[in-house]
Chain A
C-alpha cells in the first residue's frame, strides 16, 4: 500500500515550457487536492476534485489546469511555466465522504524550479 505518490520528485523548467505533475493514490479515496507550498506562506489550495471526472478551483488556480480521468490519478498541468510558479507542489487525498472533518493524506511533494 503505497499511499499517495507523486511524479516527478524534482523538475527544472524554462519559462514558457509546459509540464504535467502526476499524483496517484491507492486508497480508493474520492477526494483529491493539489497544493503549493511557498516559504512563509504555508500551503495554498490550487485545485481539487470530488470524484472521477470532476474538478474545481481552489484558492490559487491561475496558470494551472487539472484532470481526473481515473479515480486514482489527479494530474496538475502547467501550460506555460512562469518563475512565480517555482514552488513545492503537494498532492493529497481524503476518504469517500470528503467532509470537513476528513483527514487528508499527503504525497512526498514535487520541487519545481522555473528559470
Chain B
C-alpha cells in the first residue's frame, strides 16, 4: 500500500526567508504526486502536481517541487515566503493505474510565517 510521510509537522520561518517542506512516499509502482494547501478555515486547494516529464514543477505563486525517484521524495520549496503563505500543506500520491483517484495524504505540515 502507498504511504506518504511529511517529515515536519510544523515549520516556522521568518518572512522573506526560504523554506522547504519535506515529503517522502513509499510505493512499488509509479505514482502521481500532489501538493495541496489549506488556508485557515478553508478547504484544500491544489498547489502543484507531478504527473510525468520534467521533474521540477512550479506553481503560480512561487512554490516549486522536485520529483526525485531514487529518493522517493517530492519536497516543496519557496525561495522567499510571505505572510500570506501561512497555511497547512499536504503532500499526496495517487496510483496512475487505478480508475478512480484515491489520494493518499501525508500528515500535513503547518507553515507559520513570522514577520
Contacts and interface: CB of A to CB of B under 8 A. Distances in A.
Interface of A: 4, 31, 40-45, 48, 50, 56, 58-59, 90, 92, 94, 98-104, 106-109
Contacts of B36: 106
- The 6 tightest CB contacts between A and B, nearest first, are A106-B43, A42-B105, A100-B94, A106-B44, A43-B105, A100-B96
Interface of B: 4, 6, 9, 32, 36, 41-46, 49, 51, 90, 94-103, 105-108
Contact of A42 (B32, B42, B51, B90): B90
Given A4-B43, A43-B44, A100 B105 contact: no
A92 B100 CA distance: 13
B100 A50 contact: yes
Given A40-B107, A42-B105, A58-B102, A100 B32 contact: yes
A104 B105 CA distance: 13
Contacts of A43: 44, 90, 103, 105
A109 B103 CA distance: 17
Contacts of A44: 105
Contacts of A106: 36, 43-45
Given A100-B95, A109-B43, 12 more contacts: A42-B90, A42-B105, A42-B106, A42-B108, A45-B102, A94-B101, A100-B32, A100-B97, A101-B101, A106-B44, A108-B41, A109-B42
A92 B43 CA distance: 9
B33 to A, nearest CB: 10
9 contacts: A40-B108, A41-B107, A42-B6, A43-B44, A58-B102, A100-B95, A102-B101, A104-B46, A104-B101
